[in-house]
């Protein structure tokens, strides 16, 4: 043990955050697991653990609405992540290869939207996409369409919203790994006869795969249980996981079902989360 970090200081540095996380991160999930075996009741809080049972879990398995929400959530998050990767990779590449004095500004420009309100930015899209919104108004004024297009309250709008809000999460880790990549590696590949597509496939992409994976997970995991985007852009019929929890909780007041759903989502996301932890630990 290094003498620079005596036991008291070590105890403080490790113990303080670890204790906080145990109480306010690990314990809540244990609590949710316990409550998922309870039953809804009319009291306050609206659940009871007097007769523990599997009612909430049975509901999750038997009512197809949850499996449906799961599949469409994972599908939407996966698709949006793929689209963000296709847009984000060339953006990150362009920033990493831009003149050094511009890079800082270009990066700040990517981060700035992330620092401004998530809610307000999604609200801005409703202003653009609604039937009486700016895009339909412009298209009608130009005489390109007669009746407004249905641009929101559908799956397209949800994916657009997800790509929009999570794009910075994709670009930043990609930039970090591209910036570390020595440009002379690509030049060496070209010198050895590789064409641009081959250089990308054999040098650039393999070297930046950890960044791509980090960006994809950083986006996919939260996007798969996103609430605000489907709520604002998905229309009343969008049946997605984030909304399902919200509705169980606030509309149905079925706390055990909401707790069971939360636990089920964490278990389903455990694989990607563990993968992300491994990537972070290696960094």
Pattern of binders to other proteins over 212-241, x per CB under 8 A? Answer: -----xx--xx-xxxxx--xx---------
Q: Write a three-state SS string for 111-135.
A: HHHHHCCHHHHHHHHHHHHCCCCHH
Rule CB under 8 A: is residue 28 a binding residue for other proteins?
yes
Rule CB under 8 A: is residue 2 a binding residue for other proteins?
yes
Rule CB under 8 A: is residue 166 a binding residue for other proteins?
no
Rule CB under 8 A: is residue 31 a binding residue for other proteins?
yes
Nearest approach in angstroms of CB 262 to other proteins is 5
Nearest 5°: phi and psi at 72? -70, -30
Which one among 123, 149, 185, 252 touches other proteins, defined by CB under 8 A? 123
Which CB atom, from 78 or from 272, has the smaller least distance to other proteins? 272
Nearest approach in angstroms of CB 48 to other proteins is 11
Pattern of binders to other proteins over 47-76, x per CB under 8 A? Answer: ------------------------------
Nearest approach in angstroms of CB 72 to other proteins is 15
Cβ atoms of residues 28 and 255 within 8 Å: no
Which of the residues 4 through 23 are near other proteins (CB under 8 A)? 4-6, 9-10, 12-14, 16-18, 20-21
Rule CB under 8 A: is residue 128 a binding residue for other proteins?
yes
Q: Is 173 helix (H, G, I), strand (E, B) or coil?
A: helix
Pattern of binders to other proteins over 186-205, x per CB under 8 A? Answer: ----------x---------
Rule CB under 8 A: is residue 149 a binding residue for other proteins?
no
Which one among 25, 51, 144, 267 touches other proteins, defined by CB under 8 A? 25
Nearest approach in angstroms of CB 204 to other proteins is 11
Nearest approach in angstroms of CB 160 to other proteins is 9
Q: Which residues pair with 47 in a beta bridge?
A: 40
Cβ atoms of residues 102 and 179 within 8 Å: no
Is the bond leading into 92 cis (omega within 30 degrees of zero)? no
Number of residues engaging other proteins in binding (CB under 8 A): 94
Cα(153)–Cα(157) distance, rounded to whole angstroms?
7
Which of the residues 88 through 107 are near other proteins (CB under 8 A)? 88, 90-91, 93-95, 97, 104, 106
């Amino acid at each position: 043990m290094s003498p620079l970090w005596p036991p008291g200081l070590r105890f403080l540095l490790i113990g303080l955050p670890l204790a906080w996380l145990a109480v306010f991160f690990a314990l809540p999930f244990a609590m949710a697991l316990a409550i998922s075996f309870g039953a809804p009741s009319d009291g306050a809080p609206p659940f009871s653990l007097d007769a523990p049972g599997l009612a909430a879990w049975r509901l999750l398995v038997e009512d197809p609405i949850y499996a449906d929400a799961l599949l469409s959530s994972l599908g939407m998050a996966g698709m949006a992540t793929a689209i963000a990767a296709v847009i984000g990779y060339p953006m990150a590449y362009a920033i990493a290869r831009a003149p050094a004095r511009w890079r800082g500004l270009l990066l700040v420009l990517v981060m700035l939207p992330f620092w401004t309100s998530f809610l307000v930015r999604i609200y801005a899209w409703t202003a653009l996409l609604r039937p009486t919104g700016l895009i339909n108004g412009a298209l009608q004024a130009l005489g390109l369409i007669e009746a407004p297009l249905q641009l929101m309250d559908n799956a397209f709008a949800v994916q657009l919203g997800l790509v929009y809000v999570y794009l910075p999460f994709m670009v930043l880790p990609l930039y970090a790994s591209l910036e570390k990549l020595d440009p002379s590696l690509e030049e060496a590949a070209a010198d050895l006869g590789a064409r641009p597509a081959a250089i990308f496939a054999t040098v650039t992409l393999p070297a930046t795969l950890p960044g791509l994976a980090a960006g994809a997970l950083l986006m996919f995991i939260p996007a798969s249980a996103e609430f605000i985007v489907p709520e604002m852009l998905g229309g009343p019929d969008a049946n997605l996981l984030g909304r399902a929890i919200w509705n169980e909780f606030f509309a149905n007041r079925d706390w055990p079902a909401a707790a069971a759903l939360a636990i089920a989502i964490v278990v389903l996301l455990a694989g990607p989360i563990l993968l992300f932890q491994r990537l972070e630990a290696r960094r």
